[in-house]
Amino acid sequence: MNNFNVSVWYNATYKNDTGFSSTALLRVPRSVNLVSNAYLQSLLGPGTRMFLDFVKEMPKPATRLSFNIAALLSGQFFTYVILLLFPVVLTTLVYEKQQRLRIMMKMHGLGDGPYWTISYAYFLAISIIYMIVFVLFGSFIGLKFFTTNDYSIQFVFYFIYINLQISMAFLVAPIFANILTARAVGYLLVFSTGLLGGFLFEFFIEDTSFPRVWIIVMELYPGFSLYRGLYEFREYSFLGDFMGTHGMQWEDLGDSRNGMKEVLIIMFVEWLVVLPIAFYVDQAVSSGSGMKRSPLFFLRSLLRKSSSVARTHSLEKQGSKVSVEMEKADVVQERERVEHLLTEPSSSISIICDNLRKIYPGRDGNPSKLAVKGLSLAVPRGECFGMLGPNGAGKTSFISMMIGLIEPSSGAAYVEGSDICSQMHEIYTSMGVCPQHEYVSALIQVKCVHELQMHMDLSFLLFFFFSLKFSLLWETLTGREHLIFYGRLKNLKGSALMQAVEESLRSVNLYHGGVADKLAGKYSGGMKRRLSVAISLIGDPKVVYMDEPSTGLDPASRNNLWNVVTQAKQGRAIILTTHSMEEAEVLCDRIGIFVDGNMQCIGGPKQLKGRYGGSFVLTMTTSAEHELEVETMVRSLSQNAQKIYHISGTQKFEIPKQEIRISDVFKAIEKLKKRFTVQAWGLADTTLEDVFIKVAREAQSSDVLS
């Protein structure tokens, strides 16, 4: 009779009724604290005729520790070591979502399949390397845990587990919106699993009276499957070490007391189930891949036939709700045009927005914000539409909805006939984006994904490890390489790809002097901008969005870029936001001035200047004592002239165009010059900037009044 509180092995000699005797090691769970011959005999095989002769050695828990260090480490500690990969995978996935890297990749033509393939392959490769190092290191320092158990069983166990772990990370990643929460939850799971495994689950495993079915239920949690597998390795290594033989072998999987077989089956089945569910959840809930898809997205092709009918219906409804409060004639006209196009579609129109609205919900006590208040717009192929507006007008919100970064609150928009709310995946294949900032990691990831698609070989995988996730090395790609990869993503191949790349490089002036083969990291800011524009245009996208494309360029590069955009207009619709009136005037066929979420006016630059800029600006500088004479002269030319600026002798007047002739102004100034010195003067027509300021000011003042 013995009292003990650790799992122990008895070295017992027994014999059967034919007189044969042998020695056996018997494992007794620590939960059994009364050990007798009868008990030990029951372990050998209840109902048989074997019986114990005598117990040769009684358990000595302390000696067990000195025999096998791995026995100490292999429970909680090894569980922690392996589980630590989970928060790493999880936080990487959430980071890509938080930083919108994935959506940026999608915009450049990366499909969900390749994204999943490469991400999965990356995490798997990292995990395999980690596990190989883990096993090799353990073996190298001589831990029996590794050296006694069959390496092929260890490989199968770890391989299935890391696959399940990666799938679980993909499954739960959509729950998290930010990396800090994901990291905290990930590490919490690691530590709680280790603790519960060591202080609760192991107790149940060893308690032979505990129902096996509940053990299996607990093993459905992957952390406990891992713990159970490691526990069995530990027990077998200890046995092998003690007996001077070996640890777990394949034939030991047939032992009913060995839980390895059941955890291998559980983990394998779970992996096969969790992976497709994770993919489904990713698509339906959205994990940074843009807007949510319908929960029945996989039936979409069946439902598509009815969508055009539904579309007309929904649009009819929306159209009837349109509010035309205080809208200018040109904006109303555009809205009517859109409504007409929706009922009678035209193949020449690339982009249609119908009463698109974006409301940001109120947070932290702030009220909700209506950022886009019912925008209606139709952009035909071959047109460059410029969006101008002061800061906070809602331009970015509009573009973000169009490129799938945020969901519209109401209204609808169609790009090449595809709905931005439900068919963004199709739209991405015909869309190019030149963002304001370079999305460095996205560039690299797209490159690597494409390489995987194209080559799927070891050299790529090695490259992938060292350049993809360690994003500082993104600079190791040349401009030409970027274009090749983006071109491939847009399905260009062979000579067509090479030709498109050459043309692209020439068009953005990155061809000569070996610039194309210089590392992008050595490019100036302007060169990177030009490369971004080239990337947005490669692969002949039907719709291109450009966010302040010439920001930071020197005048020569800017002119060059303008030529590129002007040529790129052929056969595609471009929507461009800019704060440069000059750029808008040079590039845009039509301009919309957007203020406080509303389109205030739409038209060609000349039209707008004609409509809003009905005056000349006369500027004159004289000595201070002649200011009054200057003002009298201006009033004699036009009663309605207005002084808009005055400082120490320099005055500016706005004179209605219809009230004066330019020759009269010249004559009047010549007369003045005979009486006193006119230091400087000038007469300027209205610029787009004047129009912009006027429209913005009017809109803001009418907002204040209302």
Q: Return residues touching ligand ATP (CB under 6 A).
A: 360, 369, 371, 389, 391-397
Residue 365 beta carbon to ligand ATP: minimum distance, rounded to whole angstroms = 13
CA distance 319 to 338: 9
Residue 387 beta carbon to ligand ATP: minimum distance, rounded to whole angstroms = 8
Token pair for 123: 């995490």
CA distance 81 to 94: 22
- Would you say 95 or 594 has its CB closer to ligand ATP? 594
The vertex-124 CA angle with 122 and 126, nearest 5°, equals: 70
Residue 466 backbone phi and psi in degrees, to 5: -85, -15
What's the burial of 551, exposed, middle or buried (CB within 10 Å: 0-12/13-18/19+)?
Answer: middle
Residue 408 beta carbon to ligand ATP: minimum distance, rounded to whole angstroms = 13
Residue 398 beta carbon to ligand ATP: minimum distance, rounded to whole angstroms = 7
Residue 689 beta carbon to ligand ATP: minimum distance, rounded to whole angstroms = 16
Residue 663's Cβ-side half-sphere holds a number of Cα atoms within 13 Å equal to: 0
What's the burial of 326, exposed, middle or buried (CB within 10 Å: 0-12/13-18/19+)?
Answer: exposed
The vertex-292 CA angle with 106 and 356, nearest 5°, equals: 90
- Would you say 189 or 371 has its CB closer to ligand ATP? 371
Residue 686 backbone phi and psi in degrees, to 5: -70, 135
Residue 613 beta carbon to ligand ATP: minimum distance, rounded to whole angstroms = 23
Q: If you write DSSP's letter for every residue of 273-323 in order, what string do you get? A: HHHHHHHHHIIIIISSSSSPPPTTGGGHHHHHHHHHHHHHHHHHHHHHH--
Q: Do the Cβ atoms of 110 and 446 come closer than 8 Å?
A: yes
- Would you say 391 or 639 has its CB closer to ligand ATP? 391
Token pair for 98: 């938080």
- Would you say 82 or 371 has its CB closer to ligand ATP? 371
Q: Which residue is nearest to ligand ATP (CB)?
A: 396
Residue 577 beta carbon to ligand ATP: minimum distance, rounded to whole angstroms = 7
- Would you say 77 or 360 has its CB closer to ligand ATP? 360
CA distance 459 to 550: 38
Residue 508 beta carbon to ligand ATP: minimum distance, rounded to whole angstroms = 24
> Torsion angle of alpha carbons 157, 163, 165, 171, nearest 10°?
-150
Residue 431 beta carbon to ligand ATP: minimum distance, rounded to whole angstroms = 19
- Would you say 436 or 453 has its CB closer to ligand ATP? 436
CA distance 520 to 515: 9
Strands (E), 3-47: 8-15, 21-28
Residue 97 beta carbon to ligand ATP: minimum distance, rounded to whole angstroms = 16
- Would you say 147 or 355 has its CB closer to ligand ATP? 355
Residue 372 beta carbon to ligand ATP: minimum distance, rounded to whole angstroms = 7
- Would you say 93 or 393 has its CB closer to ligand ATP? 393
- Would you say 379 or 393 has its CB closer to ligand ATP? 393
Query: Which residues, at least 6 apart from 211, have a Cβ–Cβ distance to it below 8 Å?
Result: none
Token pair for 118: 């490469």
- Would you say 205 or 393 has its CB closer to ligand ATP? 393
- Would you say 159 or 360 has its CB closer to ligand ATP? 360
CA distance 248 to 564: 68
Token pair for 640: 């309605």
CA distance 608 to 687: 10
Give the Å distances, CA to CA, from 547 to 396, 400, 407, 537, 551: 8, 11, 19, 13, 9
The vertex-211 CA angle with 208 and 217, nearest 5°, equals: 125
Residue 99 beta carbon to ligand ATP: minimum distance, rounded to whole angstroms = 15
Residue 366 beta carbon to ligand ATP: minimum distance, rounded to whole angstroms = 8
- Would you say 144 or 395 has its CB closer to ligand ATP? 395
CA distance 134 to 75: 15
- Would you say 163 or 400 has its CB closer to ligand ATP? 400
